[in-house]
A and B are shown apart, each in its own frame.
Chain A
Amino acid sequence: MTDERVPIELRVEALEQLLVERGLVDSAVMDKYIAMYERDVGPLNGAHVVARAWTDPGYKERLLADGTAAVAELGYKGPQGEHVVVLENTPAVHNVVVCTLCSCYPWPLLGLPPSWYKDPAYRSRMVREPRAVLAEMGLRLPEDVEVRVWDSSSEVRYFVLPARPAGTEGLPEDQLVPLVTRDAMVGVAQVTP
């Protein structure tokens, strides 16, 4: 008979103990999965916008012309989502977003900002030495690629449209969405297939 009075957190703890004892689960590995999904699965709204722009040239045109309106077309609006300006990454230009003053960020598209985005070092150094900061974050850009740094504010929230990776030409929108990471939409990473 189920004892509904046993709190759910104890039931979860009990199952974790059992699975660890059986050797099925390692608590450290679990921590890694939890962190991985929290960090990399989202932010879905922005990923939908990117995948739509990659597959629908008309949408991409509207998105680049008026980010706020095109994003609202897909139903994404809300606090901190006003005045979205979309920046397109190309083979010649790489855009990266920072908020030098605080942590302005397009919430409805990307969720809440990660801790590094709020870090004073990121905020000041990305403006002064973007290539060095990007390299430290794992993104090495060829010398002939121009890096443009954009300072988000309460008036304008920048959002990067990453380049569609080679080899994904045949993929439909719903299979492109999971490829698009938050970091790519901030401009500190590229999308990989």
Chain B
Amino acid sequence: MTLPIQLDVGSPAAPPRSNGELVFAEPWEGRAFGLAVAACEVGAFAWEDFRQALIARIAARPQAPYYVCWFEALERVLAVEGQVRERAALLAARPAGHDHAMER
């Protein structure tokens, strides 16, 4: 099977791997990963631009978790930081017990 995007291996922008497999510690990491690949595939941005944004993000905050940097680089290349912030605040205000899965 041909992979749509050649991932970095061994560079500062390479995703963390354990035993050679990509590792998503939590589901949101997998979603953030998939969002970047899917949006790039439909031409929302050039992968190289995302890669440069990611490298810059990691360089600016070396201690930040990898996929937080990944997500913020994705926000940057899509120029949606403000909209994400507003939407996330709405989601945070959902009543307790609200079933997220049912809404999808």
Contact = CB atoms under 8 A, between A and B. Distances in A.
B88 A10 contact: yes
A19 B71 CA distance: 13
A37 B22 contact: yes
Interface of A: 2-3, 6-19, 24-27, 29-31, 33-34, 36-38, 40-47, 107-112, 177-178
B19 A30 contact: no
A30 B31 contact: yes
A6 B20 contact: no
Contacts, number: 137
A30 B38 contact: yes
Interface core residue of B4, B6, B22 (most chain A CB under 10 Å): B22
Interface residues of B, number: 47
The B interface, classified by DSSP as helix, strand, loop or mixed, is: helix
B59 interface: no
Interface in B59-92: 67-68, 71, 74-75, 78, 80-81, 83-85, 87-92
Given A11-B88, A15-B74, A37 B37 contact: yes
Contacts of B12: none
